[in-house]
Amino acid sequence: MSIEFLLTSLIVVATPGTGVLYTMAAGLSRGARASIVAAIGCTLGIIPHMVAAITGLAALLHTSATAFQILKYLGVAYLLYMAWSTLRDKNALTAEKDTAPRSATKVIISAILINILNPKLTIFFFAFLPQFVSAGEPNALLRMAELSAVFMLLTFLVFAAYGRFAAAMRRHVLSRPRVLTWMRRVFAGAFAALGARLAFL
């Protein structure tokens, strides 16, 4: 395991993106447990990218501009949907002591969808990950699987840390509805900005 791969993976994971935003929103709205569940869901959302890269779909998307554009605009559409739903649903970002817990299954499904359509992961697994595997390596598939597993572990640890931090801040905004309103707008704006950025890549 090269230090270059670990550092690069850490930078990719720690850079705030859709998964980080979702995990922090879960921590702020539902507390530490919800943020851990969201982190698990975001980590599971990595699996399709990993499988696609290992089975050769990466090569297909690299040679097919149409396939890549379709994937890209699916990501744009989902990011814009997340922005709209976050802004529209005033209960999406609340920090009340008596808030009913959201189904862990729903949290995980939403997190998986977010990371399935995460362009940062697509670029990482479809273009960057193979660079850490030698072309003549006899166990190239196993090597890619190992690297992907390390990336997934880093994702869970970093996202869980983000979520726990957000959950720790939760009590400081319990009685500040105006703060929550602005935070909801910031999250919605961040989702929209990520979508717009992806659309013009």
- The model's pLDDT over 24-38, given as tens digits with 9 standing for 90+, comes to 888 887 888 889 999
Task: Find the helix packing angle between 65-88 and 104-116, rounded to 10°.
Answer: 140
Please give the pLDDT value at position 44: 92
User: What mean pLDDT comes out for the span 98-108?
Assistant: 70
Structure tokens at 41: 């869901």
Residue 191's contacts (CB-CB under 8 Å, 6 or more residues apart) are 18, 21, 79, 80, 82, 83, 86
Please give the pLDDT value at position 1: 64
Contact yes or no for 48/116 (Cβ under 8 A): yes
Q: Best-predicted range by mean pLDDT among 33-42, 64-73, 129-138? A: 33-42
Q: Is the pLDDT of residue 87 over 90?
A: no
Structure tokens at 89: 């649903």
Task: Find the helix packing angle between 47-55 and 104-116, rounded to 10°.
Answer: 40
Contact yes or no for 147/5 (Cβ under 8 A): yes
Q: How far is CA 134 from CA 4, 137, 138, 149, in A?
A: 14, 5, 9, 18
Burial of 171 by CB count in 10 Å (0-12 exposed, 13-18 middle, 19+ buried)?
exposed
Task: Find the helix packing angle between 140-170 and 47-55, rounded to 10°.
Answer: 170
pLDDT class of 120 with cuts at 50, 70, 90: low
Could you tell me the pTM of the whole model? 0.70
Q: Is the pLDDT of residue 137 over 90?
A: no
Q: What is the dihedral of CA 51, 56, 58, 63, to 10 degrees?
A: -160
Nearest Cα neighbor of 166 from 71, 72, 26 is: 26
Q: How far apart are CA 135 and CA 56, in angstroms?
A: 14
Q: How far apart are CA 75 and CA 39, in angstroms?
A: 19
Q: Best-predicted range by mean pLDDT among 50-54, 58-62, 125-129? A: 50-54
Q: Is the pLDDT of residue 10 over 80?
A: yes
Structure tokens at 109: 């499904």
